[in-house]
């Protein structure tokens, strides 16, 4: 990451806050900044604030899982379990990183997680399944999918061991997946194939007891998905008139809200991750079509384009895939691309009161310095 000095204006004085290892796009009254996570080639798909996970491409359909915890060139490849050549990390908490390993993508993925010591635990069912993956992890819970041999993927949940595997495929569904776990661990978001169409929905429960609820709304014209969930809010997309529209729900079909920001000229949009405050994802627009990362805060008009903060060399495309909120701060992770490279990127929102407090502190310091100069105390 390049070093950048943030300069703010305070009562007519220029206050140099100091050099930081962030590229910042922050002005008085604004609160979002961003960091390009070097080196190039990595992608960030999950975040827990100061730790981001994803991986890098090492060949055609070949990837290596990695995590980032700060500093220049701070991507670290996760250990490869014995017998497996490739991997991907999909999600993270403070104590574990969820994902999968494989030798041939699309043929033999194996669900599992790396613990705090980076030791790998396989969650792949003991028999009857040929592929599996973890899409989300919270506490001791992992969720994603497992594919019965020769069939379609089916929603799955685990509680830390392969023996705890539970198949959540709804009755009558041709296939299904879980993409997200709520903080409480009692709501799972995903989709199920119903009558040749993928229906957004949630599973509620705990332990070995889960109940599927179909959230496919009136007005949909094609597939719908839920990619992120809190205990009360779900986010994803619904196909409307042939295009994907970013959407939210509050646990029922009737609560569906279309967040597609049509005023931007976008032809498509989707939400990839949510907190109760923000929904992160991207829109598709332009000719040729490209994606631009951003966040919503509950309405279509609330769309905030995070892509526009990036330097011009990243104008090719960007997307947001993960979001994390703690202590009033918010982190959004994703990717940004140049004409030749892909970079992981993290956008960070600092609460407005903190920014004002910082400015106030700077003003006091400048006034004190001026007073010392008047008294001949400047050294």
Euclidean distance between CA atoms 374 and 357, whole angstroms: 26
Q: What percentage of the chain has pLDDT greater than the value 90?
A: 80
Supply 5's token pair.
């000095």
Tell whether the model's pLDDT for residue 18 goes beyond 70: no
- d(C-alpha 144, C-alpha 142), whole Å: 7
pLDDT range class, residue 203, cuts 50, 70, 90: very high
211-to-132, 135, 272 alpha-carbon distances in Å: 21, 19, 23
Q: Once rounded to an integer, what is the mean pLDDT over residues 226-235?
A: 98
Lowest-pLDDT range, 7-16, 339-348, 361-370? Answer: 7-16
Alpha-carbon gap, residue 166 to 208, rounded angstroms: 7
User: How would you label 337-350 residue by residue, b for 16+ Cβ within 10 Å and e otherwise?
Assistant: bbeeebbbbbbbbb
Residue 186 has phi, psi (to 5 degrees) of: -110, 0
Q: Which residue has the higher pLDDT, 29 or 303?
A: 303
Cβ–Cβ < 8 Å for 172, 194? yes
3-state per-residue secondary structure call for 267-291: CEEEEEEECCCCEEEEEEECCCCEE
On the question of pLDDT at 225 being above 60, the answer is: yes
pLDDT in tens, 73-82: 689 999 999 9
pLDDT digits (tens, 9 = 90+) for 158-177: 999 999 999 999 999 999 99
Q: What is the CA radius of gyration of the chain?
A: 22
The pLDDT tens digits for 236-245 are 999 999 999 9
**Per-residue pLDDT at 151:** 96
Could you give all domains of the chain from N- to C-terminal order, each with its CATH number? Answer: 53-347 (2.120.10.30)
């Amino acid at each position: 990451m390049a070093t950048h000095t943030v300069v703010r204006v305070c009562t007519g004085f220029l206050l140099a806050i100091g050099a930081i290892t962030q590229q910042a796009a922050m002005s008085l009254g604004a609160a979002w900044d961003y960091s390009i996570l070097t080196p190039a080639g990595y992608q960030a798909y999950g975040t827990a604030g100061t730790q981001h996970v994803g991986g890098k491409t090492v060949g055609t359909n070949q990837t290596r899982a990695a995590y980032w915890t700060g500093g220049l060139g701070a991507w670290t490849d996760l250990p490869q379990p014995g017998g497996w050549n490739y991997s991907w990390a999909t999600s993270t908490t403070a104590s574990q990183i969820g994902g999968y390993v494989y030798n041939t993508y699309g043929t033999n993925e194996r669900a599992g997680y790396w613990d705090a010591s980076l030791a790998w635990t396989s969650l792949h069912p003991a028999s009857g399944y040929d592929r599996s993956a973890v899409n989300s992890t919270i506490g001791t819970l992992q969720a994603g999918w497992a594919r019965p041999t020769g069939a379609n993927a089916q929603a799955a949940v685990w509680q830390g061991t392969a023996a705890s595997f539970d198949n959540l495929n709804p009755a009558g569904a041709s296939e299904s997946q879980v993409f997200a776990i709520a903080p409480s661990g009692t709501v799972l978001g995903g989709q199920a194939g119903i009558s040749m169409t993928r229906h957004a929905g949630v599973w509620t429960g705990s332990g070995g007891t889960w109940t599927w609820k179909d959230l496919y709304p009136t007005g949909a014209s094609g597939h719908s998905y839920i990619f992120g969930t809190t205990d009360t809010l779900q986010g994803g997309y619904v196909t409307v008139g042939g295009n994907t529209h970013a959407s939210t729900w509050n646990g029922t079909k009737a609560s569906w809200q279309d967040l597609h920001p049509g005023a931007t000229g976008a032809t498509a949009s989707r939400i990839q991750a949510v907190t109760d405050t923000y929904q992160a994802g991207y829109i598709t627009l332009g000719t040729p079509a490209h994606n631009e990362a951003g966040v919503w805060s509950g309405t279509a008009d609330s769309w905030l384009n995070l892509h526009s903060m990036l330097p011009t060399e990243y104008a090719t495309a960007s997307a947001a895939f993960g979001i994390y909120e703690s202590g009033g701060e918010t982190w959004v992770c994703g990717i940004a691309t140049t004409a030749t490279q892909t970079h992981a990127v993290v956008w960070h929102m600092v609460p407005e009161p903190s920014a004002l407090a910082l400015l106030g502190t700077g003003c006091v310091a400048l006034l004190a310095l001026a007073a010392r100069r008047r008294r001949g105390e400047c050294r």
